[in-house]
Amino acid sequence: MNKNEYMEEAEAALVHTYNRYGLVIDHGKGVYLYDTNGKEYLDFAAGIAVQALGYCNREYNEALKNQVDRVLHTSNLYYNVPIIEAANRALTASGMDRIFFTNSGTEAIEGAIKAAKKYAYTRDGHAGHEIIAMNRSFHGRSLGALSVTGNEHYREPFGPLMPGVSFAEFNCLESVEELISERTCAVLLETVQGEGGIYPASEEFLCGIRKLCDEHDILLILDEIQCGMGRTGEMFAWQHYGVKPDLMACAKALGCGVPVGAFFMTERVAEKSLQPGDHGTTYGGNPFAGAAVSKVFEIMERENITGHVKEVAPYLEKRLDALVEKYAFLTARRGLGLIQGLVCEKPVSEIAAAAICQGLLVITAGTNVLRFVPPLIIEKKHVDEMIEKLERVLDEYNE
């Protein structure tokens, strides 16, 4: 079949929840993807920050193939070796104490919310606790995750949502402090807001929230689903700040393509929160997912991926800053490490679509930001190639 026939079949069969670009992917290698016609695309989207190791990593692929030949799934009624190894690697990298494996980032957020509520229930002897989340945030599409997502566009059609959620302004400590009450059990935020427009937390803000949480026995939940797993130059973005969360959600690059997420917690939270019967999952933490997670951490550590990000990210920032200087309709660059955004006064969805014609994949964030979340293995030459392709598109919008 040709591309149009594939797309027509997809539109006839799939629920139309995505406005997909006119591209049918066939395979990938390194930092490039190839469509069904064999055309090459430099990928600065990485499956929305998932493919941290790029495509067709032989060692990663072999680990998954080997696990397929052993056992894929056993349920959580039994132990399995791959998930034990994955848990140990994840806890070592994060400095956290306990982990629960899920199937997605949304489920990780759901679990973290439940753990926070159960912690407060155990502490106070009653339910009815509340959560402070952030405006402009995005935490997932389930009803619980939508309840803490600070964007009315996503929330409105699905109300009433989970009660007891209030929204503060990101990077405004006073707005958080004003919302704290005796019922507050947690403050939830992305260390770097992704979908909301690529906004890193300021050091004053994050450290201030940690202090407030400590003073009021409130749990700090950090969403590292997109910005975690080495993307900022540390394994987790909060490690830049010297601030440790009580609970953390992770996914995307955790499995580098295998659907897996996790929520982490400290021992203090574990002792007073989820107990047998409080939470569960059929697929979460199965041997196949465990093999993926364990191999991802192994490769990242051995290849010093965070060190590589620290080397190449400043060059990406420099080249993006030069675009802001060159084009009047690009008004700012924001980001940390290899999660970067260009604020744009032209239609960003049109620019992303036009970039495909130039053999470049970029995505958007919010309504006016071009988002750059490439595989973490990119080199400076790939940054140069990206800039060259993107400039061809931007030149068409230059007045």
Residue 221 and residue 105 share a domain = yes
Can you give the CATH number for the domain in which 358 is found? 3.90.1150.10
| Residue 160: per-residue pLDDT | 95
| Nearest CA among 105, 354, 389 for reference residue 250 | 105
Structure tokens at 102: 């899920």
Residue 259 and residue 317 share a domain = no
Residue 316 and residue 269 share a domain = no
Pairing verdict, β 219-223 and 247-250: parallel
**Residue 296 forms part of a structural domain:** no
Count of Cβ atoms closer than 10 Å to residue 234 Cβ: 19
| Residue 113: per-residue pLDDT | 98
Residue 378 and residue 314 share a domain = yes
Residue 248 and residue 149 share a domain = yes
> Which residue bears the tokens 């499956």?
47
Residue 210 and residue 106 share a domain = yes
Number of domains in the chain: 2
Instruction: Give the Cα separation of 325 and 380 in Å (integer).
Output: 20
**Residue 63 forms part of a structural domain:** no
**Residue 215 forms part of a structural domain:** yes
Residue 310 and residue 213 share a domain = no
Residue 121 and residue 207 share a domain = yes
Can you give the CATH number for the domain in which 196 is found? 3.40.640.10
* CA atoms within a 13 Å half-sphere pointing along the CA-CB vector of 216: 21
Residue 115 and residue 227 share a domain = yes
**Residue 78 forms part of a structural domain:** no
| Residue 398: per-residue pLDDT | 83
Count H helices and E strands in the chain, helices first. 14, 17
Sheet holding 32-35, edge to edge: 25-29, 32-35, 40-43, 360-361
**Residue 291 forms part of a structural domain:** no
Residue 330 and residue 264 share a domain = no
Residue 161 and residue 35 share a domain = no
**Residue 287 forms part of a structural domain:** no
Instruction: Give the Cα separation of 94 and 89 in Å (integer).
Output: 9
Structural domain of 19:
3-57+305-397
**Residue 187 forms part of a structural domain:** yes
Residue 141 and residue 237 share a domain = yes
Chunk the chain into consecutive blocks of 10 residues (it has 399) and report each block's average pLDDT, rounded to whole numbers.
Answer: 92 94 96 97 98 98 98 96 98 98 98 98 97 98 97 94 98 98 98 97 98 98 98 98 97 98 98 96 97 98 98 98 98 98 97 97 96 98 98 91
**Residue 292 forms part of a structural domain:** no
Phi, psi of 301 (to 5 degrees): -70, -50
